């Protein structure tokens, strides 16, 4: 909005107002934070950045601006071995050390009431209550981010959220504003490959990776620094859903991820991840093809292998959602002695921003005393008063230094034990500038794409086509395709064909040409890193009166031995009477327990039961969706009429017939592949 007498400047679209601060000061550069040198730290005096982030942090009340929809659980972190050679962090000093932990998973773009299966980044935030203070690893399930400088974070989220004139769509990026921003921000293209991949629609929190995103430092007792990147690897392996399945899951159970984690913990199937570290020195950082301070880049695992150093186990649900999951406050600046920051400009901005956010959301600087946020080690400060203060300094002194003795004088600083920043040398001009080492926006995007299997590449192309089909402005669609041409020409042409672009655009101007020599990184593929088992998964078993009790018991036994779960779906939720007159309790009614809730299905109706279900639309959908979503399907001969009604005339290798008890084991072993991906190509040709 232009105020009275506001100055304008000429751009391609005509006269527009000059961007100013809220005080009316014209802004010269809204793309870069003020820093010391090209790769130096962000400066506190950057008033424009401070104002922009300050306002952004206070936009929402009471829910979080981002990561509003979350779900948390308690657990512990167990250290595998001492790492005292590379860090003095107390948590890594003793083998077998168990440290209390709280983890919050979340979506990023949606509001509190949005659904769990939105195509989105997932937050993966870990609070470790160490003996020397709280350490927060505030990460995501994707190791890179959209932007290189935190000054662009408000713009990114504004573009991704509901469009301000209409208040929709929420929890979606399939709209003009988001893709307009992306099409004008080439540094985002690596992240675009990740969010258009199946990483953005995980099957479960338990089946996804977590990443610290940024490069941090480890510092040992001698003051030696080692660069480190943090990875959380799920013990149950990686798994995602297909897009049609995600859409239907949001309708069937918008709390699907929450319910899955809650149920797993409640029945003692505790989710577990390994913490892995990528460790490298200054020489590697100097020689690496990309800047290790650039948050839009990864260090491939093939270049720096991941070293497992501990395990994270979630073994207790919260007692109260609001008190713990909603009020937990994660902050990237919460580190402990032995951990330190780097000059990653996105990390520098996050360190500045998060405290503001917590103050606005929780209403008081005393949010640190809430049980979920308070350290579990002794802590002593001179902070006092404020809204809802209930811990104030005891004794006469509430300042430091003071000359009072003993307890009256209060806590004292400790040069020996206290946190000390790594004494990195910084020099350079004070400027708003982006380092040239951040200028390659396409090479790692290409590396990610070529590292995917053909199936996964098809999903990326389909996701891009779908998202851009919701963009009403043809010029924005074309601009995105122009960036894709710098990543992979075949991908760009697939998307252009899917959108039916009239003219193929020219490749976008690139600050650096796309490197063709980067090798594939198999670690980036979900399908190449499957679990090799069916543990932690769930089978939906469709049963009717007269179901063969021997097959039911065989399936339950085989699933239990695998560590999988069986859930019975019946015409009525009360259950069914089995062939031996025993009663089987059902967990779901057929029209309330669709096959999208399960990782595989088994069809065990009796002949009479199948006949009764043959005209039930819910039964038809149960089977046809399982087939369309590439799931393994076990069946008995009596189920043939149901399969025919679902339009399945020819059964592929993803179907396993159950004639005898031993067939149940065969079915479970087959399910270890998770999906029958060959069917996808057949469905495309149908």
d(CA 244, CA 596): 10
What was the pLDDT predicted at 30?
A: 85
- What are the start and end residues of each CATH 1.20.1370.20 domain in the chain? 440-527
Longest pairwise C-alpha distance within the chain: 90
Predicted confidence (pLDDT) at residue 4 exceeds the cutoff of 50: no
What was the pLDDT predicted at 408?
A: 85
1 pLDDT tier (thresholds 50, 70, 90): very low
DSSP E strand boundaries for 257-349: 272-280, 307-317, 339-340
What was the pLDDT predicted at 54?
A: 73
3 pLDDT tier (thresholds 50, 70, 90): very low
Evaluate whether 460 touches 449 at the Cβ level (below 8 Å).
yes
Evaluate whether 536 touches 563 at the Cβ level (below 8 Å).
yes
User: Could you tell me what percent of the chain has a pLDDT over 70?
Assistant: 98
Q: What is the pLDDT of residues 449-506, one digit of tens each?
A: 999 999 999 999 999 999 999 999 999 999 999 999 999 999 999 999 999 999 999 9
Evaluate whether 563 touches 237 at the Cβ level (below 8 Å).
no
Q: How far is CA 20 from CA 52, 101, 154, 518, in A?
A: 11, 43, 15, 42
SS3 (DSSP) at 428 = coil
What was the pLDDT predicted at 14?
A: 57
What angle (nearest 5°) sits at the alpha carbon of residue 603, between those of residues 601 and 609? 145
Phi, psi of 74 (to 5 degrees): -95, 160
Length in residues, the chain: 686
For residue 320, the 8-state DSSP code is -
Q: At what angle do helices 243-252 and 617-628 cross, to 10 degrees?
A: 140
d(CA 288, CA 304): 11
Average pLDDT over residues 317-332: 95
What was the pLDDT predicted at 612?
A: 93
Q: What is the pLDDT of residues 339-371, one digit of tens each?
A: 999 999 999 999 999 988 898 888 888 888 899
What was the pLDDT predicted at 390?
A: 82
What was the pLDDT predicted at 60?
A: 66
Q: What is the pLDDT of residues 167-186, one digit of tens each?
A: 999 999 999 999 999 999 99
Give the DSSP per-residue string, 443-497: HHHHHHHHTS-HHHHHHHHHHHHHHHHT---HHHHHHHHHHHTTT-HHHHHHHHH
Q: How far is CA 522 from the centre of its chain?
A: 20
589 pLDDT tier (thresholds 50, 70, 90): very high
What is the chain's alpha carbon radius of gyration, rounded to the nearest angstrom? 27
Q: What is the pLDDT of residues 365-398, one digit of tens each?
A: 888 889 999 999 888 888 888 888 888 888 888 8
d(CA 440, CA 511): 7
- What are the start and end residues of each CATH 2.40.180.10 domain in the chain? 34-369
Evaluate whether 483 touches 449 at the Cβ level (below 8 Å).
no
Which structure tokens are listed for 353?
């921003």
> What dotted CATH number matches 34-369?
2.40.180.10
What lies within 8 Å, CB to CB, of 281 at 6+ separation is 226, 227
What was the pLDDT predicted at 380?
A: 86
Average pLDDT over residues 90-104: 97
Class of domain 534-685: alpha beta
- The tokens 């239990």 sit on which residue? 560
Phi, psi of 566 (to 5 degrees): -110, 135
Which structure tokens are listed for 430?
């004070």
Evaluate whether 260 touches 205 at the Cβ level (below 8 Å).
yes
d(CA 466, CA 670): 32
Q: Which residue in 191, 215, 189, 58 sits closest to 120, CA to CA?
A: 191
Q: What is the pLDDT of residues 607-630, one digit of tens each?
A: 999 999 999 999 999 999 999 999
* Superfamily name with CATH number, domain 440-527: Catalase, four-helical domain (1.20.1370.20)
Tell me the whole-structure pTM to 2 decimals: 0.91
Give the DSSP per-residue string, 326-343: IT----TT---TTEE---
Average pLDDT over residues 286-299: 98
Predicted confidence (pLDDT) at residue 205 exceeds the cutoff of 70: yes
What was the pLDDT predicted at 137?
A: 98
For residue 183, the 8-state DSSP code is H
220 pLDDT tier (thresholds 50, 70, 90): very high
Q: How far is CA 258 from CA 73, 106, 199, 330, 444, in A?
A: 10, 10, 18, 19, 33
Predicted confidence (pLDDT) at residue 544 exceeds the cutoff of 70: yes
Average pLDDT over residues 136-152: 97
Quick one: 593 exposed, middle or buried, by C-beta within 10 A (0-12, 13-18, 19+)? buried
Evaluate whether 33 touches 49 at the Cβ level (below 8 Å).
yes
Q: How far apart are the first and last CA of the chain?
A: 53
d(CA 571, CA 6): 68
Q: What's the count of helices (H) and strands (E) in the chain, helices before strands?
A: 20, 22
Average pLDDT over residues 254-279: 98
SS3 (DSSP) at 665 = helix
What lies within 8 Å, CB to CB, of 355 at 6+ separation is 331, 333
Active site residues: 67, 140
Question: Residue 466, Cβ neighbours under 10 Å: how many?
Answer: 15
Evaluate whether 596 touches 245 at the Cβ level (below 8 Å).
yes
Evaluate whether 467 touches 461 at the Cβ level (below 8 Å).
no
d(CA 49, CA 42): 10
d(CA 401, CA 500): 71
Q: At what angle do helices 243-252 and 454-469 cross, to 10 degrees?
A: 60
């Amino acid at each position: 909005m232009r105020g009275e007498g506001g100055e304008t400047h000429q751009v391609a679209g005509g006269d527009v107002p000059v961007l100013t601060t809220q005080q009316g000061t014209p802004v010269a550069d809204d793309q870069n934070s003020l820093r010391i040198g090209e790769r130096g730290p962000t400066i506190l005096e950057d008033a424009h950045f401070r104002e922009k982030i300050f306002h952004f942090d206070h936009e929402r009340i009471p829910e979080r601006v981002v990561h509003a929809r979350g779900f948390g659980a308690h657990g512990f972190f167990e250290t595998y071995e001492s790492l005292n050679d590379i860090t003095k962090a107390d948590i890594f000093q003793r083998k077998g050390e168990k440290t209390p932990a709280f983890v919050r998973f979340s979506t990023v773009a949606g509001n509190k009431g949005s659904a769990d299966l939105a195509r989105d980044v997932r937050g993966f935030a870990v609070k470790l209550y160490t003996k020397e203070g709280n350490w927060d690893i505030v990460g995501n399930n994707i190791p890179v981010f959209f932007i290189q400088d935190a000054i662009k974070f408000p713009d990114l989220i504004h573009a991704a959220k509901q469009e301000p004139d209409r208040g929709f769509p929420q929890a979606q990026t399939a709209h003009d504003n988001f893709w307009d921003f992306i099409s004008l921000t080439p540094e985002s293209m690596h992240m675009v490959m990740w969010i258009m991949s199946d990483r953005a629609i995980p099957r479960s929190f338990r089946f996804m990776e977590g990443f610290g995103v940024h490069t941090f430092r480890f510092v040992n007792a001698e003051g030696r620094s080692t660069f480190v990147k943090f990875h959380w690897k799920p013990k149950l392996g990686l798994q995602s859903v297909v897009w049609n399945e995600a859409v239907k899951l949001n309708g069937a159970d918008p709390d699907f991820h929450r319910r899955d984690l809650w149920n797993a913990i409640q029945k003692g199937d505790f989710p577990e991840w390994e913490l892995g570290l990528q460790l490298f020195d200054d020489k590697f950082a100097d020689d690496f093809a990309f800047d290790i301070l650039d948050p839009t880049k990864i260090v491939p695992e093939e270049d720096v292998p991941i070293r497992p150093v501990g395990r994270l186990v979630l073994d207790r649900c919260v007692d109260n959602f609001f008190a713990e999951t909603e009020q937990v406050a994660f902050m990237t600046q919460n580190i402990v002695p032995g951990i330190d920051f780097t000059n990653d400009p996105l990390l520098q901005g996050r360190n500045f921003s998060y405290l503001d956010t917590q103050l606005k959301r929780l209403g008081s600087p005393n949010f640190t005393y809430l049980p979920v946020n308070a350290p579990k080690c002794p802590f002593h400060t001179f902070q006092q008063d404020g809204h809802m203060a209930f811990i104030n300094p005891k004794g006469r002194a509430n300042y430091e230094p003071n000359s009072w003795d003993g307890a009256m004088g209060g806590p004292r600083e400790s040069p020996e034990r206290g946190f000390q920043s790594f004494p990195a040398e910084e020099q350079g001009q004070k400027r708003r500038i982006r380092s040239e080492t951040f200028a390659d926006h396409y090479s790692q995007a290409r590396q990610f794409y070529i590292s995917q299997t053909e199936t996964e590449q098809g999903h990326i192309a389909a996701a891009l086509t779908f998202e851009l089909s919701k963009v009403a402005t043809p010029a924005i669609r074309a601009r995105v395709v122009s960036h894709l041409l710098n990543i992979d020409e075949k991908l760009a042409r697939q998307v252009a064909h899917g959108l039916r672009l009239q003219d193929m655009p020219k490749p976008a101007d690139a600050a650096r040409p796309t490197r063709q020599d980067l090798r594939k990184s198999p670690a980036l593929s979900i399908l190449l890193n499957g679990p090799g088992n069916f543990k932690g998964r769930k089978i939906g078993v469709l049963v009717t009166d007269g179901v063969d009790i021997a097959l039911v018991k065989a399936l339950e036994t085989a699933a239990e031995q695998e560590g999988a779960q069986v859930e019975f779906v019946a015409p009525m939720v009360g259950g069914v009477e089995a062939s031996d007159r025993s009663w089987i309790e059902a967990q779901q009614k057929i029209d309330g327990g669709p096959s999208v809730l399960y990782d595989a299905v088994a069809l065990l109706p009796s002949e009479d039961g199948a006949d009764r279900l043959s005209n039930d639309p819910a039964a038809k959908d149960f089977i046809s969706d399982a087939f369309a979503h590439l799931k393994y399907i076990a069946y008995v001969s009596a189920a043939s009429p149901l399969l025919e009604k679902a339009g399945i005339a020819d059964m592929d290798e993803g179907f396993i017939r159950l004639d005898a008890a031993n067939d149940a084991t065969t079915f479970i072993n087959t399910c270890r592949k998770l999906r029958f991906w060959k069917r996808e190509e057949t469905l495309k040709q149908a």
